[in-house]
């Protein structure tokens, strides 16, 4: 029996962008080719982004410049998910106070709702997304409407965004200002909440999607929240060590080095009497430490270690890094 590739077990790939497809302006080696191979396998492809300041068409254009396959409708943004969330709860033609970018207002129009910019226009909901031009008056307007009891949806609550000069305040900080003033909390459409992932899967008609991301706290947690299979890739933020230490809600189903690993067979992890084996490596937990037979350079050793440690700490509500004891074969 020929071993099947990891991706062939699924009918779609829902991919994060930064740290997975590109790092800054450049594509990550092997990523574009891996994405190009999917259509030949009959596997759908969607891109899932929390960025609500760029339109999906702008994101898709950037991906095409890098050589990645990307039609505009393959990009699902948190602003689209927010619009769909509002449309599912409100009557067509409802007025929505937009505290965000023109791209966000456009998504609100596309689902049959009406963007407005003042409490005087009697909005029944507020949608809040990132826009570098937002000022105090915009946040005050949102605060008035939220305080009056309106439905409040945030595209995402990322606290920071990387800029050329360093880390800058993200949408989460602006949402936090309205929370501080009103005592209310919004529904969140973007990662790590489920709506963004459900929107992407629905658009592709996918029943068994695989979510790939480099961050446990957004991509993996979000995919898990949506009830989808998740794979962490080591080309971005999280590392072998941080993944091993992950709290239960942020643990991925699979762990790969780079996107080309999607097209290779995934080694099975087996266990026997507390020893977890993967490839030639094995691991077991004793007195709070993980003993690993294998090499720190071998990802199978980390897969075995994760299986052993996670089985020993199934309900971890905070990250816990175990002591590691490495032994050669």
Could you give the dihedral angle defined by the CA atoms of residues 93, 110, 220 and 223, in that order, rounded to the nearest 10 degrees?
70
Q: Is the peptide bond before 121 cis (omega within 30 degrees of 0)?
A: no
Q: How far is CA 322 from CA 100, 214, 286, in A?
A: 43, 21, 10
Could you confirm whether 72 is annotated as catalytic? no
Q: How does DSSP classify residue 290?
A: E
Sheet with 75-77, edge to edge strand ranges = 75-77, 44-49, 12-15, 209-213, 229-233, 254-256
Helix (H, G, I), strand (E, B) or coil at 124: coil
Return the CA Rg of the chain: 21
Question: Which alpha helices (H) appear in the chain, and where do they start and end?
Answer: 31-36, 56-65, 78-89, 102-110, 136-147, 171-182, 195-204, 221-225, 240-244, 299-312
Give 181-241 as a DSSP string.
HHS---EE-STTSSHHHHHHHHHHT-SSEEEEES-IIIIIHHHHHTT-EEEEETTSS--HH
Residue carrying structure tokens 């008035």: 144
- What is the distance, to the nearest Å, from the Cα of residue 246 to the centroid of all Cα atoms in its chain? 16
Q: Which of 11, 18, 238, 261 is catalytic?
A: 18
Residues 6+ apart with CB under 8 A from 55: 77, 103, 106
Could you confirm whether 18 is annotated as catalytic? yes
Give the Cα separation of 39 and 42 in Å (integer).
5
Percent of residues in the chain assigned helix, strand, coil, to nearest 5? 35, 25, 40
Give the Cα separation of 247 and 39 in Å (integer).
34
Q: Which of 11, 16, 261, 300 is catalytic?
A: 16
Residues with catalytic function: 16, 18
């Amino acid at each position: 029996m020929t071993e099947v590739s990891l991706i062939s077990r699924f009918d779609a790939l829902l991919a994060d962008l930064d740290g997975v497809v590109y790092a800054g302006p450049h594509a990550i080696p092997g990523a574009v080719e891996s994405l190009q191979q999917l259509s030949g396998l009959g596997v759908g492809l969607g891109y899932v982004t929390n960025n609500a300041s760029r339109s999906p068409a702008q994101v898709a254009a950037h991906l095409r410049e890098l050589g990645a396959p990307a039609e505009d409708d393959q990009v699902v943004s948190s602003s689209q998910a927010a619009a769909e969330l509002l449309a599912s709860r409100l009557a067509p033609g409802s007025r929505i106070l937009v505290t965000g970018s023109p791209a966000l207002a456009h998504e609100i129009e596309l689902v049959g709702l009406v963007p407005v910019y003042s409490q005087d226009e009697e909005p029944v909901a507020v949608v809040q997304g990132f826009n570098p031009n937002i000022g105090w008056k915009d946040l005050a307007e949102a605060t008035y409407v939220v305080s009056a009891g309106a439905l409040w949806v945030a595209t995402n609550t990322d606290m920071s965004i990387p800029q050329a000069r360093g880390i800058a305040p993200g949408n989460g900080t602006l949402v936090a200002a309205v929370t501080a003033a009103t005592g209310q909390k919004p529904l969140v459409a973007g990662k790590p909440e489920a709506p963004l992932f459900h929107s992407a899967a629905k658009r592709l008609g996918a029943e068994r999607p695989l979510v790939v991301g480099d961050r446990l706290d957004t991509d993996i947690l979000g995919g898990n929240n949506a009830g989808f299979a998740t794979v962490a890739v080591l080309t971005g933020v999280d590392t072998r060590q941080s993944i091993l230490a992950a709290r239960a809600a942020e643990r991925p189903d699979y762990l790969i080095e780079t996107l080309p690993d999607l097209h290779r067979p995934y080694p099975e992890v087996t266990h026997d009497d507390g020893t977890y084996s993967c490839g030639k490596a094995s691991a077991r937990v004793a007195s709070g430490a993980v003993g690993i037979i294998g090499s720190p350079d071998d990802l199978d050793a980390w897969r075995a270690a994760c299986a052993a440690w996670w089985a020993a700490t199934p309900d971890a509500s905070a990250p816990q890094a175990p002591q590691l004891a490495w032994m050669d074969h």
